[in-house]
Chains A and B, each alone.
Chain A
Amino acid sequence: MPVEIDIEHVAKLARLQLSKRERAELATQLGQILEHAARVGEVAADDVVPTASPIPRANVLRDDVVEPSLPVDEALRNAPERDGDRFRVPRIAETGT
């Protein structure tokens, strides 16, 4: 059975604007893909430990030495909008009274 998905909810989580047509297509396609993908449940028994990375490594730290970082101008060079040494964005909060 194809899986039914609340496309609008998922698109909201992903912050992805979708047209009506895209939403309809994705509902069908994701349903089919997930039906196939759900087969993972057939073999993954409770006693199998999950693997997150093929070559596990933990606590990889470098020496605590200060090194030069990217100059501010370089870091801002690709900014869609800049205001001095800052990224400029549309408003992010309600204006207070």
Chain B
Amino acid sequence: MTRPLGDLTGTELSAKLAAGDTSATEILASTQARIDAVDGQVRAFLTPTPQLASERADELDTYLSTGAPQSPVAGIPVALKDVLTTNGIRTTCGSKILETYVPPYDATAWTRLSGAGAVLVGKTNCDEFAMGSSNENSAYGPVYNPWDLERVPGGSSGGSAAAVAAGEAVWALGTDTGGSVRQPASLCGVVGLKPTYGRISRYGLIAFASSLDTVGTFTRSVRDAGSMLQVLAGHDPRDATSLDIPVPEYGAHLDEGVAGLRVGVVSEAFGEGVEPAVAASVRAAIERLAALGAEVGEAVLPHATYALSAYYLIAPSECSSNLARYDGVRYGLRAEGEHADSIAMMFATRGQGFGPEVKRRIMLGTYALSAGYYEAYYGQAQKVRTLVIRDYEAAFERFDVLVSPTSPTTAFRIGEKADDPMAMYLNDIFTIPANLAGVPAISVPCGLDDAGLPIGIQLTAPALDESTLLRAAHALESDLDLDLRPPLLAGL
């Protein structure tokens, strides 16, 4: 049976568009039909933008009909996580405190995609201010995993991951501070790329933890991830941490395979807490890499077990500072009623506007940065960060890429971990080290467990070596040749 247009990859759609076999309007109609059919169940979107999308697709078809040059992004339906600002379109961060916030500017990541002809289909649900691993922390309710509607899609970019998995968008943007692109990609059976810190501008990414926050991509193929990165990467004077260095051609070496590539298996990542089906599937994928000619060995990241502890001090510390801006003065919620003074208004506004996880992290960070505790917590955590970076440096002297499971488990049931913050935080144990070190990593589907839930393998490369990362991921993806389609889409 022929699949609907919206289920093709961006690369395939771009080729059809270039050949005159389809139009941006036709592609959008296919994606829009899918949103109409399944989003009542999946609930990936907080703010769909069908009218804007339709106008945009029309414009694009008119433009392309003149024979104008076509970018690989042109006409691709894209969804954006609702922590990326969009000029004139409500941006909530999944929080009540920004329920009516309409930004006066676009995030640079969106400016770049939009400028290259991408079509925005909507803003996606996420954990409040990107804090969470299940999307259950959104003030607007959960997102349901298209593979099993009783399960979480992962988080924090749960809406973006679910949208791409269910064909409600061909591509999506998310953000990854401790695994928030890779973990939901793994749980939803799609490709999730977190590039090197500084590779994509953070301008317009509403800040959670500024030294960790990274814009990332959701696609249904590794090649598409490279196409997105090609447009997104590059210097932006509006972000002082954005890297002012040349951007390589990410597609140039994509098909060169893994013969001779040195692959390090992170041995710590197969221990306690990892579901047997996950470990088995990832090990089988590693055997495929070896069969394709990779030199597989054992890598150690001795401080990885301390990375989670360091992360849960550094991220909340930065969060408590960044979220101080929500004070009911310039934008966002102001608590109703008479306030004795501005300070009382701020207490009431923040108490009403933030949900439980955000409050928890603001309190944790405020404590970790407070007088008398700073050195013991934040100061020590920053030293562990140095040790994690040294671990990677040592590992990358011996290996070109490292592999591990992306997440210790497949998608868990909604509510299963909601009351236990520590159990929830453990979801990110394999993804957090890459954020602390700023190195690029990608999650690629590598199989299904007995319940038919997707499993992801994580590949990690040295800073700025996305080319090797994508080449290895593409080789594995091509060899595994999984045809992943959630049962929800049967008959669609």
Binding site for B on A (CB under 8 A): 5, 7, 10-11, 13-18, 22, 26, 29-30, 32-34, 36-45, 48-55, 57, 60, 62, 70, 74-75, 77-81, 87, 89-92
* B471 CB-CB contact with A under 8 Å: no
Contact A49 B197 (CB under 8 A): no
The total of Cβ contacts below 8 Å across the A-B interface reads 176
| Other-chain contact of A48, B105, B196, B386 (Cβ < 8 Å) | B386
Cross-chain contact B241 with A14 (CB below 8 angstroms): no
- Give the distance in Å from the alpha carbon of A44 to the alpha carbon of B303 in the complex: 10
Question: What is the predominant secondary structure among interface residues of chain B facing chain A?
Answer: helix
What CA separation (Å) do A60 and B241 show in the bound complex?
A: 8
Per-residue interface assignment for chain B, residues 374 to 416, with 1 indicating a CB less than 8 Å from any chain A CB and 0 otherwise: 0011011111111101000000000000000000000000000
B237 near A41 with CB under 8 A, answer: no
User: With A and B bound together, what is the CA distance between A75 and B103 in angstroms?
Assistant: 9
Interface pairs (17), CB distance under 8 Å: A10-B370, A14-B362, A16-B347, A16-B351, A16-B362, A17-B350, A30-B367, A33-B425, A36-B309, A40-B384, A50-B379, A54-B463, A80-B329, A80-B333, A89-B342, A90-B340, A91-B342
Instruction: Judge whether B421 and A78 touch: CB under 8 Å.
Output: no
Complex: A69 Cα to B198 Cα, angstroms: 25
> What's the least CB distance linking B292 to chain A, in Å?
31
B359: interface (CB < 8 Å): yes
Tell me if B328 and A80 are in contact (CB < 8 A). yes
Most central of A26, A44, A57 by chain B CB within 10 Å: A44
B387 touches A32 (CB 8 A): no
Asked whether, in the complex, the Cβ of A33 is within 8 Å of the Cβ of B422, the reply is: yes
Contact A90 B383 (CB under 8 A): no
Collect the chain A residues with CB atoms within 8 Å of residue B312's CB.
33, 36-37
CA distance A44 to B347 in the complex (A): 36
Distance in angstroms between the alpha carbons of A89 and B342 in the assembled complex:
6
- Asked whether, in the complex, the Cβ of B386 is within 8 Å of the Cβ of A43, the reply is no
